[in-house]
Amino acid sequence: MHELPPPVRPPTTPQQRLAGVLWTIAAMGLLAGMAGFAKAAAQEGAGVLHILLGRSLVVTLLGLAVALLRGEPLLGQRRGLLALRGLAGVGALLLFLVAVTRITVGETIVVHKANPLFVALLAPWLLGERAGRATLIAIPIGLAGVALIVRPGLPVEATVGGLAAIGSALLTAFAYLYLRALTLTEASSTIVFWLGGMGVLVGLAGLAPDFTLPPQRALWLIACGGACAGTGQFLLTRAFRLLDAASASTASYSQVAFGYLLGWLALGETSHPLAWLGTLLVVAACLVVAWSKGPGSEVRPRS
C-alpha cells in the first residue's frame, strides 16, 4: 500500500499550543451541533442525502469565500491526495448521518471517535509507524467498548446505526491520516473546499434520479448544520497546524461530552448503562493510543 510522507511540523510556542487546544474544543462543539441539527432535520422529513448535499453546499461556499478573501488556491498542489481525503471524508459523513438517525447522538459520536484505533492499525502501512505495547493493549479494550455500544440484542435499526458508525470511524481514520499530510502543504480553505465539493457531487449523484426538496423547516436545520460543520472544519484544520497528534486527539474527545449533553438536553435522548461503560472504554483506549508515544511526538518513517 502507498506510504504517505511523515508529517514534520515546525516548533510551536505554549501560546500557540493553547490556541490549538481551544480551536479543537470549539470545533468539536460545532461538529456535535452539526450532528444534532442533522438528526433534527431527519425528524422533520429530510433524507440522509439531502442532509449530505445541504451540508456540503454550505461547506463548499465557505471554503470558496475564504479562499477568495485570502487569495488562496482552490485546486491546491496535491490534488490526488485532496480527492482521496475528500472521498474518505464524504463516505465517513454519509455513514455518520445514517448512524445518527438511528442511535443517539452521543453513541454515534463515541463510536465514530474510535477512529484512532483504526489509525493505529493502518499507520504501519500508510505512515510507517509501528504500534507500541500500550497501543497493542489499548486496541482490543477500545474495540470491546465499541462492542458494548453496538451489542447483540439491539433493535435492527439500532444495529444498522451502530454498524454505520463503525464504518464511519474506519473511513475517518483514512481521512485523518490524509489530513495530517495535507496540512503541511495545503491551505485550510483548499482542504475544506475539496471536502465540500466531493460531498456536493456525491449528494447530487444520489438524488438526481428523483430529486425533491425536503420540508422548509428541515432545510433551515440542514443549513444550520452545514454552517456548524464548515466552521468546525476550518477550526480543526487550523488546530492541526498548531498541535501534535496526541494533544489534538485528547482535545477532540470533548466532542463526546458535547454529543451526550446535546442529545440529552435538546433531543431527550438517554443511553443504556452498557453504552456508558463502552464509552469510557473507548475514550480511555483512544487516549492511551494518542499518548503512547508521548506529547509532542510525530510519526517517524520506517528504517
Task: Give residue 264's region: left, alpha or beta (phi > 0; psi -120 to 50).
Answer: alpha
What pLDDT score does 98 carry? 95
Q: Which cell goes with 58?
A: 454550505
What pLDDT score does 58 carry? 84
Predicted structure pTM score: 0.82
Going by C-alpha positions, the residue among 231, 215, 195 that lies closest to residue 56 is 195
What pLDDT score does 247 carry? 79
What pLDDT score does 2 carry? 43
Residues of the chain with pLDDT under 50: 1-8, 295-303
Q: Which cell goes with 75?
A: 485546486
From residue 188, alpha-carbon distances to 9, 90, 216 in Å are 16, 17, 31
What pLDDT score does 179 carry? 77
Going by C-alpha positions, the residue among 169, 181, 85 that lies closest to residue 121 is 169
Within its chain, how far is the Cα of 185 from the centroid?
21
How far is it, in rounded angstroms, from Cα 25 to Cα 5? 27
Query: What type of residue sits at position 8?
Result: V
